[in-house]
């Protein structure tokens, strides 16, 4: 096995409460909404739960688990000034697998989180991941992306995401990533994004690297 690589991680034992996410799209959305209400209801309140956008949520199977990501119908016009003034909760994220910050190498444990966009000065923002008590259990940098603005300087409020697979669909000798290479997913909201790394579950690789 080449130096600097390792065997893919073993599958992470899933939290039993996430089993309800397996099903049709409508069933998964319903299960997600119920988990958010149960875990974050006191943080979001009735107004936040009512504004949660299940119609545009992202539901991404990755690394033997799932990452779900949903935004809210804005309470205020989405401008830089309002984001700075209110430091709002902008999304809800649920991850059934551990996610690793590629800079600090610290891990966001599986769970359901309210994500707050917090100004840190100089036009920069951070993302705080809040638990069911509204306490930040993880914080990371919110990186600016190409900003799209509309009327009155409002920012694009759509969710987006990109996923890097451990191997491309049609791998070549120069593109194939070795076992142990982490997957990477980047999630964005408004004009900011952050990326996570995750371990792929163990599977049979086509080459004799072991």
Query: In this predicted model, what pLDDT tens digit does every residue of 129-148 receive, in sequence order?
Result: 999 999 999 999 999 876 54
Higher pLDDT, residue 162 or 39: 39
pLDDT (average), residues 21-26: 76
pLDDT given at position 14:
64
* Residue 10's pLDDT band (cuts 50, 70, 90): low
Residue 16 C-beta-side C-alpha neighbours within 13 Å = 0
Task: Round to the nearest angstrom and report the end-to-end CA distance of the chain.
Answer: 5
pLDDT tens, residue by residue, 151-161: 433 445 566 77
> 123: alpha, beta or left, given left = phi > 0 and alpha = psi -120 to 50?
left
Task: Find out whether 90 and 117 touch, Cβ atoms under 8 Å.
Answer: yes
Contacts of 90 (CB under 8 A, 6+ apart): 71, 72, 115, 116, 117, 189, 190
Query: What is the rounded CA–CA span in Å between residue 150 and residue 27?
Result: 34
Q: Say whether pLDDT at 205 is over 60.
A: no
The structure's pTM equals 0.78
Residues whose CB is less than 8 angstroms from the CB of residue 71 and which lie 6 or more positions away in sequence, other chains included: 53, 56, 57, 90, 91, 157, 158, 159, 189
pLDDT at 7: 43
Answer whether 98's CB lies under 8 Å from 14's CB.
no
| Res 52 pLDDT > 80 | yes
Which residue's entry shows tokens 């690394």?
A: 63
């Amino acid at each position: 096995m080449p130096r600097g690589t390792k065997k893919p991680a073993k599958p992470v034992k899933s939290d039993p409460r996430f089993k309800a996410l397996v099903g049709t799209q409508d069933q998964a959305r319903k299960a997600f909404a119920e988990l958010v209400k149960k875990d974050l209801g006191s943080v979001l309140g009735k107004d936040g739960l009512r504004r949660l956008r299940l119609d545009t949520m992202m539901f991404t199977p990755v690394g033997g688990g799932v990452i779900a990501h949903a935004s809210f119908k804005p309470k205020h016009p989405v401008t830089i000034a309002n984001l700075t003034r209110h430091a709002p909760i902008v999304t809800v994220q649920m991850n059934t697998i551990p996610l690793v910050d590629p800079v600090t190498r610290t891990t966001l444990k599986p769970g359901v989180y309210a994500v707050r966009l917090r100004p840190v000065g100089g036009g920069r923002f951070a993302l705080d991941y809040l638990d069911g008590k509204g306490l930040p259990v993880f914080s990371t940098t919110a990186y600016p992306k190409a900003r799209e603005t509309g009327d009155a300087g409002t920012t694009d409020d759509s969710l987006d995401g990109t996923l890097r697979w451990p191997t491309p669909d049609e791998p070549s000798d120069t593109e194939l990533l070795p076992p142990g290479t982490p997957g990477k997913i980047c999630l964005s909201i408004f004009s900011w994004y952050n990326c996570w790394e995750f371990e792929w579950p163990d599977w049979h690789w086509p080459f004799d690297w072991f």
